Amino acid sequence: MMKEYLKKIATTTFRGDDREESYYSHFSHFLESFSEQTGKKKIHITTLPKKTEAGNPDFRVWDGKQKVVGYVEAKKPGEDLDKIESSEQLKRYRSTFPNLILTDFYEYRLYRNGNLIDKVLIARPFIAKKMQTVPPVENEDKFLTLLEKFFSFSLPTVFTAESLAVELAKRTGFLRDEVIIKELEEEEKGKGEIFAFYTTFKKFLVADLSHKDFADIYAQTITYGLFAARTRAGKDFNRKIAYDFIPHTIGILRDVFSFISLRKLPPQMEVIIDDIAQVLHAADVKTILDEFYRKGKGEDPIVHFYETFLNIYDPATREKRGVYYTPEPVVKYIVRSIHDLLKTHFNLADGLASKELTLLDPAGGTLTFPAEAIKLAVEEYTKKYGDAGKTKLIKNQILKNFYSFELMMAPYAIGHIKISFLLEELGYTMKDDDRF
């Protein structure tokens, strides 16, 4: 198997007109043969042509459905892999993709979570280039061990709120910088789907929206749309079924996901979005959220989720937009103080539960303050009037008269998830036509 592979590689080199892409089919066939002969499940190898040095690695190895094995970045035989290893491009790949091979088709370097864990040279490229002969196989056992390590990779299934936020942030930043901005620049000439979204966002949301700011909003919309869908999905989850789980009342997410889930995406975009979806598929998102909402253990994970995400994704934006969360005891003190003042100074005997009240949080974040206000309003109402009218209070008062504004897409999506979980904890399941 390896002798045949090296023969094909060397023969291509002999022609003298070879490019990096000239070797792609040889590598794909070899990897597929290795997978079959070692009893691996059927794999798919997607080759990802790059118009520029940006974008995803050259190959994605996956099962064709939702499980990504890993990625391969290839260079022309004989290129200096030490130099490539220290390049900005490979640094981006190593920080984003946890199972990555760098190769010039003769030397193979395997990185796990950014760290080099194995390196093997299987033949000498100069023998093919200078001596015009097929080089002999070297280090066959070591190479097969490296491939076994590559194929054995799987994402962890146990995430904390913090570690999940970090994994999502790395991939969302890559989607923004290496895919959406590049696709937008390419499509501006031809007016493609992503450019159409850009012009729509400019028309209806932010008039002076730059390409960079759009890429930021759009990348976060995709990731947190997937996050919102994952909280409602069952065991299986991927990009293509996400649309079915986006709440009907979050219109902007459904508009975006009619493209993301139901249409043909540019290949570079499809790959990184599938990768984000796989992280969410592997994570037990419901358990992470249930720890607070259903079991009452520890702090609300969502309070710190977006702060952690933004710290990795874009610390400058965190500083600029003031994404720093008020400690929960302070939130409770402020909300309860307002509740008491409504009674003592405004003659509203039911405080936050009063039917005359309209509430607005003008900078909602992940809706920490409105969530506390909802809890206190329901507590006040049920203490005085019992549980019988609680559903009516939530549907006719809270959902109609409690409001929030939020400029940033990720906390906007998270906020919807948070309120949905909170209301379920309070005994109210939101219907398709309900909207906070």
First vs last Cα of the chain: how many Å apart? 60
CB atoms within 10 A of CB 357: 18
DSSP state, 354? -
Q: Which of 101, 173, 106 is nearest to 139 (CA)?
A: 106
Count the residues in the chain: 436
- Under CATH, to which class is 2-151 assigned? alpha beta
Alpha carbon 413 to chain centroid, angstroms: 13
* Rounded CA separation 330/348 (Å): 23
Per-residue pLDDT tens digits for 108-138: 999 999 999 999 999 888 887 778 888 898 9
Indicate if the pLDDT at residue 65 is higher than 60.
yes
Per-residue pLDDT tens digits for 326-375: 778 899 999 999 999 999 999 999 999 999 999 999 988 889 899 999 99
Helices (DSSP H) in 283-367: which residue ranges? 285-293, 301-313, 315-321, 328-346
Indicate if the pLDDT at residue 295 is higher than 60.
no
DSSP state, 261? T
Contact by Cβ (8 Å): 335, 369: yes
What is this structure's pTM? Answer: 0.80
* Rounded CA separation 332/374 (Å): 11
Range of lowest pLDDT (49-53, 139-143, 261-265): 49-53
Contact by Cβ (8 Å): 310, 169: yes
Per the model's pLDDT, the better-predicted residue between 268 and 409 turns out to be 268
19 pLDDT band, cuts 50/70/90, is: confident
CB atoms within 10 A of CB 113: 12
Q: What is the mean pLDDT of residues 27-52?
A: 80
**Identity at 252, one-letter amino acid code:** I
322 pLDDT band, cuts 50/70/90, is: low
129-161 in b/e form (b: 16+ CB < 10 A) is: beeeebbeeebeeebbebbebbbebebeeebeb
Question: 283: which 2 tokens?
Answer: 């994570």
- Please tell me whether residue 59 adopts helix, strand or coil conformation: strand
Question: 241: which 2 tokens?
Answer: 């079924």
* Rounded CA separation 319/370 (Å): 23
What's the pLDDT score for residue 163? 85
Q: Which of 96, 104, 99, 253 is nearest to 178 (CA)?
A: 96
* Rounded CA separation 170/96 (Å): 6
78 pLDDT band, cuts 50/70/90, is: confident
HSE-CB at 259 with a 13 A cutoff on CA atoms is 17
Question: How are beta strands 115-121 and 359-361 bridged, if at all?
Answer: unpaired
Residue 78 zone, left/alpha/beta (φ > 0; ψ -120 to 50; rest): left
- Taken in order 371, 377, 382, 383, is the CA torsion positive or negative? positive
Long-range contacts at 293-298 (CB < 8 A, ≥ 24 apart): 293/421, 293/422, 293/424, 293/425, 294/425
228-242 in b/e form (b: 16+ CB < 10 A) is: bbbbbbeeebbbeeb
**What residues are paired with 112 via a beta bridge?**
99, 115
The DSSP result for 388-418, as a single string, is TTHHHHIIIIIHHHEEE--SSHHHHHHHHHH
Contact by Cβ (8 Å): 419, 382: no
What's the pLDDT score for residue 46? 86
Per-residue pLDDT tens digits for 260-287: 999 888 888 999 999 999 999 988 887 7
Domain boundaries in the chain? 2-151, 161-295, 324-407
- Please tell me whether residue 266 adopts helix, strand or coil conformation: coil
Per the model's pLDDT, the better-predicted residue between 428 and 193 turns out to be 428
Q: Give the mean pLDDT of the chain.
A: 86
* Rounded CA separation 309/78 (Å): 39
What's the pLDDT score for residue 159? 78
CB atoms within 10 A of CB 55: 22
* CA Rg value for the chain: 26
- Please tell me whether residue 260 adopts helix, strand or coil conformation: helix
Indicate if the pLDDT at residue 212 is higher than 70.
yes
**What residues are paired with 119 via a beta bridge?**
109
**Identity at 111, one-letter amino acid code:** Y
Indicate if the pLDDT at residue 324 is higher than 80.
no
Percent of all residues in the chain with a pLDDT value above 90, rounded to a whole number: 42
Helix 140-151 with 24-37: angle, nearest 10 deg: 80
